Structure 1
């Protein structure tokens, strides 16, 4: 059995981790893989700023730095922030994947231009940064949001009637107004909306958390991992540096 460590980059209660784990539809997960979900023990709350991005990077690195020693076959960062992705690739030899890089590159294979539809404007910078890092800014038609503060604990549960129509409206504007032919959900916390949006839109809708997990599986199954030319290993790892912070 292969094991994937999925890291949620903000501290959340155990029941919220169950909701994140619930983003994987039945039958999608390969039977030879087990996904363990953990949350960063401190740091960011909603990753609403460069300050919080830095906190998330630090504590996702803390959560994943020992994954290889703990017997995991891969690590998946469960957030469109792609928190600590370069740092974990530097620290680990096993594959490390994340939703923004995976979803955007997949979108480029499925269409000509994609839009990210998200919860609030404070997350826009995450997507423009990710697109720039991959050299695909020209393939991103737009970033749109519904002006609603996200809830990392409850996700979209209980908000379907109010939130889903707003998301559909912004997706429609991205398609008809911005020229998008693929939609990416802007957060793994939005996964409950994927089935609905897929049923009412005529373009592919990418569920980023599921895509990231499946790409992680693919890397493991193909025996692939990141290049050491791109992600040099540290000479002197300091994995216990954050231990006194509780």
Structure 2
């Protein structure tokens, strides 16, 4: 299975991250029925390039008046030199798939086409390398579907689309390769936990690590609106997916 998300957005709290770089999800599945996504060999299973957070550091951190002076000085020094903040999605559990549900969202069962348990890594010289929204123990769990969501009130449902489906012949097999084009996967029913681990101790700040984490992570959470309850967050992913039998993509296959 090889899926490319080419556009869309990911909203957590009050911040929307546009998808402006292709996200590739790939690996092995047992079929279009419910299946774990087995890790790709020789390539990342989820290749999610870091995306720029709109507004940068100023957009996700609001310094509080009670910040110690060294922290204020470090913040503005970084803002004046590099305001950019990147966000990267990292899976923390095995990805689950159900392409039968993706192709027929109204079949009457669980409509989840792809279940992703993620953490989102925020990076900037001020935030450091351990600033995460979500964790392995408390992930952001997104249940993407091509049908219509059922978020808690008063959030309105949103709808995806199965896109179009074509079978491509390989050799004498007319159903060897399934090409799903223009699918739209959505979810606005998930919750997002608070950020933790923010604040770069490598800046040499004379502040206890625990206090630094509390102050900086607290500022991120206040500005971004975290934790954010179910119904206040949204994922919309649009792209194409290809599924082929292993025999046609295995190394040495004449059809590879």
Q: TM-score range by the shorter chain?
A: under 0.3
Task: Find the structure with the greater CA-based Rg.
Answer: 2
Higher percent of residues as helix? 1
Structure 2 length-normalised TM? 0.27
Higher percent of residues as strand? 2
